[in-house]
């Protein structure tokens, strides 16, 4: 079981053991996810989580049915030892609970009790405090620190664009920078999704949710040049972005191929943080700075919840510094002369 891995069988992902045989429980679990209509990317993410879970069970000589609260905390410690990110740990804990319930028909034991605490209560005449009753047990999770991702600066964007030599790569970058597309959404774009007449593009996002995004004139011009000058006439698929050279010429681009475009640019000191997700975040920050309303931006970025959109439009440190200096300058004018003018 230590050799559990993800393989593609008949166009679908499967979890197999060290001998290459599919693990039956994992196969049934992933098939249920497909029946529910979850996207291929989501099913693949669950498959990789199952691989890690099986590897941990094999390393600890445990079966899934033997999971207890103590073992759940050991799994958490094991993930911490691997330096996994809190968000990834919480996703795998969620996968473990779902898989345990699917196989054993009951909930996975283990959780955290929310103990009562003291809080001010204005109607308590004696102490001014009230004891809150103990809340029910909640699921075990790792605390996720809130991170503020800095968008790219104007200088960084210009340097990145100047380093791109192909129309295909320019189209991909502008689709993220001017339309806010995810890297996976860019790779799934098909020729039929383009509508130059109405100046819009159809996008299939997370959970196979469909949305329509306006196309800026710059991107339309780049797409027309790419389709007429670079994209081969005969391709194995109708995807817009395909491989342009090598033995896979004409095949759809993969995630690895997309990452290589940016990995080579990130070797530059000024572009060390330039990646596809950073471009999408830059789009959200630019739209917010331009005064686009939150519901409109939420729809353009394909977010199910407004809270997610708010995370993308957190002001950067540069915005904070600029606003601070503007306010301080106003206060200096309001409250008196500068220190150098004092008698």
pLDDT in tens, 224-258: 999 999 999 888 789 999 999 888 889 999 888 99
Q: What is the pLDDT of residue 1?
A: 45
Residue 116 has pLDDT above 60, yes or no: no
- Helical segments of 149-234, H only: 154-163, 167-179, 183-187, 217-225
What confidence tier does 338 reach under pLDDT thresholds 50, 70, 90? low
pLDDT tens-digit readout, 125-152: 444 445 545 545 567 788 877 766 678 8
pLDDT above 60 for 316: no
Listed residue (123, 74, 112, 126) closest to 96, CA to CA? 74
Secondary structure of the chain: what % helix, strand, coil (to 5)? 50, 10, 35
How many percent of the chain have pLDDT more than 90? 36
Query: CATH 1.10.443.10 in the chain, residues?
Result: 154-318
CA distance 158 to 163: 9
Top-tier CATH class for 5-111? mainly alpha
Q: Answer for the pair 249, 155: CB distance below 8 angstroms, yes or no.
A: no
H or E stretch covering 280: helix 276-289
Ranked by mean pLDDT, the top range of 79-88, 125-134, 214-223, 308-317 is: 214-223
Strands 112-114 and 135-138: antiparallel
The ranges of the chain annotated as CATH 1.10.150.130 are: 5-111
Cβ contact 329:335 at 8 Å = no
Q: Following DSSP, what letter does each residue of 186-254 receive, concatenated?
A: HHT-BGGGEETTTTEEEEE-GGG-EEEEEPPHHHHHHHHHIIIIIS-SS-SS-BSSB--SSTTTTSBPP
pLDDT mean across residues, the chain: 83
C-alpha to C-alpha distance for 174 and 166, rounded to whole angstroms: 12
Architecture of domain 154-318: Orthogonal Bundle (1.10)
Q: How far apart are CA 304 and CA 287, in angstroms?
A: 18
Element (H, E) at 339: none
């Amino acid at each position: 079981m230590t050799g559990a891995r993800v393989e593609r069988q008949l166009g679908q992902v499967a979890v197999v053991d060290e001998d290459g045989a599919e693990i039956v429980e994992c196969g049934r679990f992933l098939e249920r996810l497909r029946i529910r209509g979850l996207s291929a990317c989501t099913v693949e993410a669950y498959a990789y989580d199952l691989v890690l879970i099986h590897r941990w069970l094999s390393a600890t000589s445990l079966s899934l049915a033997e999971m207890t609260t103590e073992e759940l905390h050991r799994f958490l410690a094991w993930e911490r030892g691997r330096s996994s990110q809190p968000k990834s740990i919480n996703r795998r804990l969620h996968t473990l609970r779902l898989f345990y319930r699917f196989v054993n028909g009951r909930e996975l034991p283990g959780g955290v009790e929310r103990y009562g605490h003291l809080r001010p209560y204005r109607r308590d005449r004696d102490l001014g405090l009230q004891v809150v009753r103990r809340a029910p047990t909640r699921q075990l999770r790792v605390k996720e620190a809130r991170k503020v991702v800095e968008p790219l600066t104007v200088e960084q964007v210009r340097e990145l664009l100047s380093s791109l030599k192909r129309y295909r790569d320019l189209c991909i970058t502008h689709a993220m920078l001017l339309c806010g597309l995810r890297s996976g959404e860019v790779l799934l774009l098909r020729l039929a999704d383009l509508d130059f007449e109405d100046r819009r593009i159809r996008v299939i996002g997370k959970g196979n949710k469909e949305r329509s995004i306006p196309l800026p004139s710059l991107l339309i011009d780049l797409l027309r040049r790419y389709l007429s000058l670079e994209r081969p006439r005969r391709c194995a698929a109708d995807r817009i972005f395909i491989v342009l050279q090598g033995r896979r010429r004409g095949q759809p681009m993969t995630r690895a191929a997309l990452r290589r475009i940016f990995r080579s640019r990130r070797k530059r000191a000024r572009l060390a943080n330039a990646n596809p997700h950073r471009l999408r975040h830059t789009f959200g920050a630019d739209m917010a700075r331009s005064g686009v309303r939150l519901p409109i931006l939420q729809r353009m970025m394909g977010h199910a919840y407004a809270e997610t959109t708010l995370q993308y439009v957190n002001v950067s440190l540069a915005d904070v510094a600029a606003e601070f200096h503007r306010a301080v300058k106003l206060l200096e004018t309001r409250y008196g002369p500068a220190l150098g003018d004092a008698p």
